[in-house]
């Protein structure tokens, strides 16, 4: 249930709504808009309460029940687009943010070569995995702490923000010391203990869609982050599992406009994991930009043939440079820029 306050409602009037909600055992989240304040009242008992309990309070303009399973990620709670800023790089505005780098950090030489290449071509943020949960326990699992130290070195040497995945709730504080954005992988989208811990950290987070999850389930997972007071949430579409096996996953391009309609959160696309093959990545990336994505997450390796994982879906530096030129044209055609 949300209470939309009248334009110009006083702090005392907002606080009165908050006090009434808390007296009924509800938790509260505030959306302090530029013109109006919206009070979200959350709890399992909201369906039993009459809207009049809040509608009669001074300064309240309207009271609405949010029927969707997700609340804080919805447009009902926040009508205007959310902007997430990392070191001056803004997700959700006119700029399309490109994040690029190797799927996994393998060595200092590999990482430095990759970072130089993607930054020279116009990438704004570096991606690099150090904790790699794999289907097989015998596959390469990442460099872990040593990889974090290499990412920190990159961040300092190249003056560029870094995103990496965190997989254990106990590692959130430690990983946050080395990187700028915490990534929640597809396998962990519904790891609610991890989401809660990242929410409490208030660190920018990239939330990937689970490969068997609906958009509603994805946005409800985002509510776990938002409910802990973390408003630095970026969604990432990376393809879902369908009957089609000609690509690694099926990229749900439709999810981009759907999210834009029903949620205020920015959304980026990972064409590499959806495609599973480097030759499909450029087309999927361009389709995502045309459909309204706020950014891209692209795998680039200095020598994909020698990659320890996901080499087949990684672009070479020259392929990435060519793609960036093409993406700028697509972005311009839809009134945006890279």
Helix (H, G, I), strand (E, B) or coil at 203: coil
DSSP state of 91: E
Residue with tokens 């304040």: 37
121, pLDDT greater than 90: yes
The share of the chain scoring above pLDDT 90, in percent, equals 91
Just give the CATH number of 2-64.
3.30.70.1140
Q: What is the pLDDT of residues 38-79, one digit of tens each?
A: 999 998 778 788 999 999 999 999 999 999 999 999 999 999
Question: Higher model confidence: residue 141 or residue 84?
Answer: 84
Q: So what's the pLDDT on residue 319? A: 98
CA dihedral 97, 81, 218, 286 (to 10 degrees): -40
Residue limits of CATH 3.20.20.70 in the chain: 84-333
135, pLDDT greater than 80: no
Tell me yes or no: is domain 84-333 CATH 3.40.50.1820.
no
Q: What is the pLDDT of residues 226-235, one digit of tens each?
A: 999 999 999 9
Q: Quick one: CA dihedral 15, 21, 25, 31, positive or negative?
A: negative
Report pTM. 0.94
Confirm if 247 and 276 have CB atoms less than 8 A apart.
yes
Q: Quick one: CA dihedral 258, 264, 269, 273, positive or negative?
A: negative
- Partners of 97 in the β-ladder: 295
What band does 142 get if pLDDT is binned at 50, 70 and 90? confident
CA 258/CA 164 separation, integer angstroms: 26
Q: What angle do CA 334, 114, 166 make, to 5 degrees?
A: 85
Report the relative pairing of strands 125-127 and 162-165 from DSSP bridges: parallel
Work out the number of other CB atoms within 10 angstroms of the CB of residue 9: 21
CA 232/CA 153 separation, integer angstroms: 24
For residue 86, give the nearest of 152, 17, 160 by alpha carbon. 160
Q: So what's the pLDDT on residue 35? A: 83
Confirm if 224 and 172 have CB atoms less than 8 A apart.
no
Helix (H, G, I), strand (E, B) or coil at 8: coil
Residue limits of CATH 3.30.70.1140 in the chain: 2-64
What is the average pLDDT across 25-45? Answer: 90
Q: What is the pLDDT of residues 237-293, one digit of tens each?
A: 999 999 999 999 999 999 999 999 999 999 999 999 999 999 999 999 999 999 999
137, pLDDT greater than 80: no
140, pLDDT greater than 70: no
Q: So what's the pLDDT on residue 188? A: 96
What band does 144 get if pLDDT is binned at 50, 70 and 90? confident
CA 158/CA 119 separation, integer angstroms: 8
What is the average pLDDT across 148-160? Answer: 96
């Amino acid at each position: 249930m949300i209470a939309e306050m009248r334009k110009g409602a006083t702090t005392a009037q907002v606080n009165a709504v908050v006090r009434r909600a808390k007296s009924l055992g509800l938790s509260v989240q505030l959306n302090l808009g530029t013109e109006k304040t919206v009070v979200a009242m959350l709890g399992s008992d909201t369906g039993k309460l009459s809207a009049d309990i809040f509608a009669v309070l001074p300064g309240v303009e309207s009271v609405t029940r949010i029927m969707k399973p997700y609340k804080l990620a919805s447009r009902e709670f926040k009508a205007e687009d959310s902007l997430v800023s990392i070191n001056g790089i803004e997700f959700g505005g006119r700029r399309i943010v490109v994040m690029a780098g190797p799927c996994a950090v393998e060595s200092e030489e590999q990482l430095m070569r990759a970072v130089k290449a993607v930054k020279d071509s116009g990438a704004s943020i570096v991606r690099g995995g150090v904790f790699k949960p794999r289907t097989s326990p015998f596959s390469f699992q990442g460099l872990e702490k040593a990889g974090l130290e290499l990412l920190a070195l990159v961040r300092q040497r190249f003056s560029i923000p870094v995103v990496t995945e965190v997989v254990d709730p106990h590692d959130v504080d430690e990983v946050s010391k080395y990187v700028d954005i915490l990534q929640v992988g597809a396998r962990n989208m519904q790891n609610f203990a991890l989401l809660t811990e990242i929410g409490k950290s208030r660190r920018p987070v990239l939330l990937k869609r689970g490969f068997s999850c609906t958009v509603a389930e994805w946005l409800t997972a985002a509510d776990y982050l938002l409910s802990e007071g973390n408003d630095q949430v970026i969604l990432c579409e990376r393809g879902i599992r369908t009957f089609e096996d000609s690509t690694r996953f099926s990229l749900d391009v439709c999810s981009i406009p759907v999210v834009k309609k029903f949620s205020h959160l920015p959304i980026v696309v990972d064409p590499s994991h959806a495609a599973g093959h480097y030759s499909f990545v450029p087309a999927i990336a361009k389709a995502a930009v045309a459909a309204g994505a706020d950014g891209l997450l692209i795998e680039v390796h200095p020598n994909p043939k020698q990659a320890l994982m996901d080499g087949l879906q990684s672009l070479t530096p020259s392929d990435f440079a060519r793609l960036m030129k093409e993406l700028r044209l697509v972005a311009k055609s839809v009134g945006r820029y890279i």
